[in-house]
Structure 1
Amino acid sequence: MGVREGFAQLYGTAPEGVWAAPGRVNLIGEYTDFNEGFVMPFALPHTALAAVSRRTDGVLRLHSADIGGPIVELRVDELEPRTDTGWAAYPAGVVHVLREAGHPVTGADLHLSSTVPTGAGLSSSAALEVVTALALNDLYGLGLTRPRLARLAQRAENDFVGVPCGVMDQTASACATEGHALHLDCRDLSLRQIPFDLAAHGLVLLVVDTRVKHALGDGAYAERRAGCEEGARQLGIRHLRDLAYEDLPAALGRLTDERVRRYVRHVVSDDHRVGRVVALLDAGEVRAIGPVLTEGHRSLRDDLRISCPELDLVVGTANASGALGARMTGGGFGGSAIVLAEAADADTITKAIEEAFAAAGFTTPRVFPAAPSAGARRLS
């Protein structure tokens, strides 16, 4: 049953519309967004769908086709940050921040469904936030731009849910375009669509969902963010974005905390890697980005220390089986890795990864190709 039909069955009337917002894969630039640095995500074909209608009585009703259970009923003027850690906190948080920003959202009925894998580092939560924000923006005629919607969706996750994420995930979901990667400056939200047509080059980007579930609200993400902020403070700069790559060795020599030093080294070098990938893609050297991806994984593993045995096994096995490059993607501690490969080698690499997981006694991973897809949109 589709979300439109599910909405009608739940609420007894047809929705005013149906919207979609995608998950994302981040090609390069990890933990750089909240340091006001650079990232390069693209949207997945997997989306969160929302059938939505307005209400005028201050009631917010939420239902998930994936999770089931009863309708969650809330009052918009009683929404309190960090009181609900379940799935409903994400759309409810969007309503809260829209109202806080002065937008006249007087209630809504929502029925949601998603094909974005949860806990896989592919931004299932951002997709929920963005699809809610876009639907309410359209229905209430708020006139908000896509970057502004992304910022508000980020605030919902930061302030209402309590996860101190950067703005990359929400911006990718809101602003991505088909066939492109999004080069995003997380300081001013300026963005550039970089052509990333893998099929035209005979290439494929595989996403390998390790099925190891992560939970970024457990403090590990927040600890690394705090460490980055401490590094910037000790270096006398506003954000690590302000440290030039060529000045990194001297800056590291001024930091006494080994943990902070590692975090700073990762962020500044990953910002530099984003620039290298942009230059290579602009030059049409798509295959040459592979080693940069693998270099990024080593930094995430050794400096940021957010990898896990399953992610390391994907990267090592893929590269040993002929991949052009591979790295973990997303917040880490599980989730997914990406593998850049010749299209002709995709089946061989996939089989090698599956066999390696079986030999290690790990759960069989989910492997699928990721084509850069369209961002959030109204479907009907």
Structure 2
Amino acid sequence: MLAEEFEARHGSQPLGFWSAPGRVNLIGEHTDYNQGFVLPFAIDRRAVVALGAAPDARPTARVSSTFSAEIVEIALDDLAPDALDGWSAYPLGVAWALAERASAAAAAASGTRTDLPGFTLHIHSAVPIGAGLSSSAAIECATAVALNEFWQLGLTPKELARVGQIAENQAVGAPTGIMDQSASMLGRSDAAVFLDCRSMQTESVPLGLGAEGLEVLVIDTRVSHDHATGGYAARRASCELAAATMGVESLRDLAPADLPRMQEELDDETFRRARHIVTENDRVEETVRRLETSGPRAIGDLLDASHVSMRDDFEISVPELDLAVEVSQANGAIGARMTGGGFGGSALALVPHAARPALKAAILKAFAEQHFRRPDLFVVQPSAGATMEGQTRD
């Protein structure tokens, strides 16, 4: 079907199809840009791109999507962060970042710039937008693997994750870390990605949910958020201030034992922001230890504590997220927390299969009683990362 849509929009057949997943962050929120630890997993909701050569070999980038009637076209030479806006900044930002990297590599190798062929791209995404499941990284990573192959750049998945982050930071203007793109690029079935955001070392951590009769229920509150707006940036600025005041490179360099000294040297708000990061890093490492030694039923209290920290110290929750977590905890969930950057989006509940129907009914009832929008409830499976889906011709 995507091939037919591509042809209807662009008058030609695509060369192939590439996809990348959204992600759920099991635990480790706002720790990534503090060079800390995160534990996300890729989910079974994906963005798919169809890619073809530009018509008449023009050196242009032309993008369209199933969620907009707009077709955006720009010369490759004109790609730059300040030339991009709206939804097309995500795929075109990736194209810009890849082109910059390819040109720098060519100049270093031969002293000349590389001429990249133009392309046409059509996007479809099944990752809910604004739900905290990183629909943006799914689009970025699907575009990255497609262009990496089309332009024959030979970049590794970790390098492509970095490209996606650069696009999000500089082209979109969202000051996010590298967690989302790493999960989307490196995900594996039934496993989470344990990422050290300083060294960029990764470890695949088996989750074993099915063997324990568990599943992850996502509660999309349908309260939309936007990382390019001020709340996210303000939290990042507080973290940078705390690190500078404490004389460390990042909050990664502080441990729970440092909290008394931090409380003495930081103002109350900055201290609470920093305390969330320091304790969250500790919770991520403990979650990995328990998954490896005791299994997923042992991590519920860590998920619960993470939500309290985000609600009270980092102050990024909203009433809908708090309600979703509280109702989940009271109706059979092993643990629950908001997930994603906050100010809206989704919560997750780690729940036994048998408890899911009653939990869903309780959440819907509670939201209706509070006159909140009806949430979207769905189970996600830990899934594989970005990949080529197929070719239409050689």
Distance 1:125 1:151 in 2: 14
Say yes or no: does 1:53 pair with 2:52: yes
What is the one-letter code of the residue matched to 2:346? S
Say yes or no: does 1:379 pair with 2:389: yes
Deviation per CA, 1:162-218, whole angstroms, max 9, x where unpaired?
111000000100111111011001112110000112111011110000011111111
**Segment drifting more, 6-15 vs 368-377:** 6-15
Distance 1:121 1:98 in 2: 26
Say yes or no: does 1:28 pair with 2:39: no
1:83 deviation in Å? Answer: 4.2
Q: 1:82 to 1:332 in 2, by over 3 A?
A: farther
Residue 64 of structure 1: aligned partner: 65
What is the one-letter code of the residue matched to 1:78? D
TM-score normalised over the length of structure 1 = 0.97
Say yes or no: does 1:117 pair with 2:132: no
**Segment drifting more, 187-196 vs 53-62:** 53-62
1:289 deviation in Å? Answer: 0.5
Residue 196 of structure 2: aligned partner: 185
Distance 1:339 1:47 in 2: 21
3-state SS of paired residue (2:81): coil
Distance 2:70 2:277 in 1: 43
CA contact (8 A) 2:102 2:153 kept: no
Distance 1:274 1:283 in 2: 14
Residue 368 of structure 1: aligned partner: 378
CA contact (8 A) 2:208 2:295 kept: no
1:126 deviation in Å? Answer: 0.7
Residue 369 of structure 2: aligned partner: 359
**Segment drifting more, 320-329 vs 115-124:** 320-329
TM-score normalised over the length of structure 2 = 0.94
Counterpart pick for 2:147 among 136, 141, 149:
136
Q: Could you tell me which runs of 5 or more consecutive residues in structure 1 were left unpaired when the two chains were aligned.
A: none
1:76 deviation in Å? Answer: 1.4
Distance 2:81 2:344 in 1: 27
Counterpart pick for 1:232 among 233, 243, 249:
243
Residue 326 of structure 2: aligned partner: 316
What is the one-letter code of the residue matched to 2:299? I
1:36 deviation in Å? Answer: 0.4
Distance 1:236 1:75 in 2: 45
Deviation per CA, 1:336-357, whole angstroms, max 9, x where unpaired?
0000111110111111000000
Distance 1:362 1:175 in 2: 36
CA contact (8 A) 1:59 1:74 kept: yes
What is the one-letter code of the residue matched to 1:60? A
Distance 2:295 2:24 in 1: 20
CA contact (8 A) 2:84 2:92 kept: no
Say yes or no: does 1:206 pair with 2:217: yes
What is the one-letter code of the residue matched to 2:306? G
Pairs aligned (count)? 377
Counterpart pick for 1:223 among 216, 230, 234:
234
What is the one-letter code of the residue matched to 2:140? E
Say yes or no: does 1:151 pair with 2:150: no
1:65 deviation in Å? Answer: 1.0
Residue 274 of structure 1: aligned partner: 284
1:78 deviation in Å? Answer: 1.0
Deviation per CA, 1:56-75, whole angstroms, max 9, x where unpaired?
422110001122x1321111
Distance 1:311 1:141 in 2: 43
CA contact (8 A) 1:212 1:334 kept: yes
Deviation per CA, 1:312-368, whole angstroms, max 9, x where unpaired?
000111111121110000011110000011111011111100000000001111111
Distance 1:106 1:224 in 2: 40
1:248 deviation in Å? Answer: 2.5
Residue 42 of structure 1: aligned partner: 41
